[in-house]
Structure 1
Amino acid sequence: MIRDICVGTPGSAHDAAVFAASDLYRHTERHPQATTDVERVQVPLLVAGDPAYPLLPWLIKGYSGPNVSQEQAAFISHLNGSRVKVEHTFGRLKGRWRILAKRSDIHHSFMSTVVAACCVLHNICEMEKQRFVPPSEDSCNEGERQPRRLQCDERPPQAVLIRDTLMQYVSNLERQ
């Protein structure tokens, strides 16, 4: 199920810029979330992001760089596992509504309405447990991919502490 959407920016917009303009970002930045204690660090409900997103106290992303430790690599693996459902949701959304998987001739001023409608229809299909048949590989125009993502290097200290604490927590669980 898709719980929150932010439509209206062009496909060439950087993910982090779209995120920073979203209601989810503005709301979560203004309204602190409930926390739970992990290894004596207060950890809020987290959004899992990929490397394109900034590391924030409530938005967790993996470690990057050439010198990732074994513990950090294990944490990245766990984090990526939690993001798989999101990737599958996007795959199913684009698989159901092929207009989202390719360049469209629809006027750009109407495209955000099309995207929002596809998200609503996707949720209805999911609620009704409609069978999903993945499209064949050659039915998608692979030549029109989104631009490469840029990496965001800003790291607030509280976000670093939360990520490091969670990485240590996951590492301790694996040793048991």
Structure 2
Amino acid sequence: IPQRKQNPVEKQLAVVLYRLGGKATIWDICSKFGIAEGTVPLFTSRIIKTLKNLKEDFIIWPRASVHDAKVFRNSSLYRYRNQLFEESDYVLADSAYPISLNIIPSFKNPSGLDKTKQIAFNKKHSKSRVVVEQAFGRLKSRFQLLKELRTKSTKIATDLIEISLILHNILEKSGDEWEEPSEQILLYRMQFDASHNTRRTQAIKEAGNIKRQNLMDIVIS
């Protein structure tokens, strides 16, 4: 018996990227790409396996739960700070980090005669650090599946998060500029999703009617 030809890699990747990039259900993905329901997890597992080979190049984490300050002390930014920073250079950090010439955290507990100024400083400090939040915002905007992981498996959820991070960092390093979708695009997506959901509901309803008719023919004979 001849073996069934595997789908092109481009199609498998497209299916997984579509899954990561939106909130489509497995049924919606099957409908869009003309594939069977079991094919989506199959494609996903293949792409996960391939992309995870790049994990060491694009994701660096501590081996276990570690305080942010310790992570920073073990980073190349801290180890090579004398080469990377001029005396007037500094990095803004939250109050958990130790203060130094090059690390300026916010005031942990504003107090004393300068309390009002410290609170005002913390507000400006926080606004300047919002770039970190924007980085996570870009990640979740690119891969909207991260906003609502539809799986009961911790392993699958972890794998989907990891490959999203790998792809995100590849795009960031390549200089890809991410722009938030315009209102027109968001409206189109909503209309597209609504259309898909309507067709799905209709298909389920028709299937139910056929099944009920068959049951009736069996019971009332």
TM (norm. structure 1) is: 0.51
Counterpart residue type for residue 142 of structure 2: R
* 1:62 and 2:106 correspond: yes
* 1:119 and 2:169 correspond: yes
How far apart, in 2, do the equivalents of 1:86 and 1:10 lie? 22
**Conserved? CA contact 1:9–1:18, under 8 Å:** yes
Match of 1:52 in 2: 96
**Conserved? CA contact 1:94–1:100, under 8 Å:** yes
The alignment-based identity, stated in percent, is 29
Which of 33, 39, 49 aligns to 2:85? It is 33
How far apart, in 2, do the equivalents of 1:54 and 1:6 lie? 25
Give 1:100 deviation, angstroms. 6.5
Q: Which runs of 5+ in 2 are unaligned?
A: 1-57, 183-221
Give 1:6 deviation, angstroms. 7.1
Whose radius of gyration is greater, 1 or 2?
2
How far apart, in 2, do the equivalents of 1:60 and 1:118 lie? 28
**Conserved? CA contact 2:110–2:119, under 8 Å:** no
Counterpart residue type for residue 103 of structure 2: L
How far apart, in 2, do the equivalents of 1:9 and 1:55 lie? 22
SS in 2 for 1:60: strand
Larger RCO: 1 or 2 (CA < 8 Å, sep 6+): 1
Distance change >3 Å, CA 11–CA 99, structure 1 → 2: farther
Greater strand content: 1
Q: CA RMSD in A?
A: 3.7
How far apart, in 2, do the equivalents of 1:121 and 1:66 lie? 40
Give 1:114 deviation, angstroms. 6.6
Greater helix content: 2
Number of residue pairs aligned between Structure 1 and Structure 2: 120
How far apart, in 2, do the equivalents of 1:74 and 1:121 lie? 36
Q: Which runs of 5+ in 1 are unaligned?
A: 36-43, 135-176
TM (norm. structure 2) is: 0.42
Match of 2:218 in 1: none
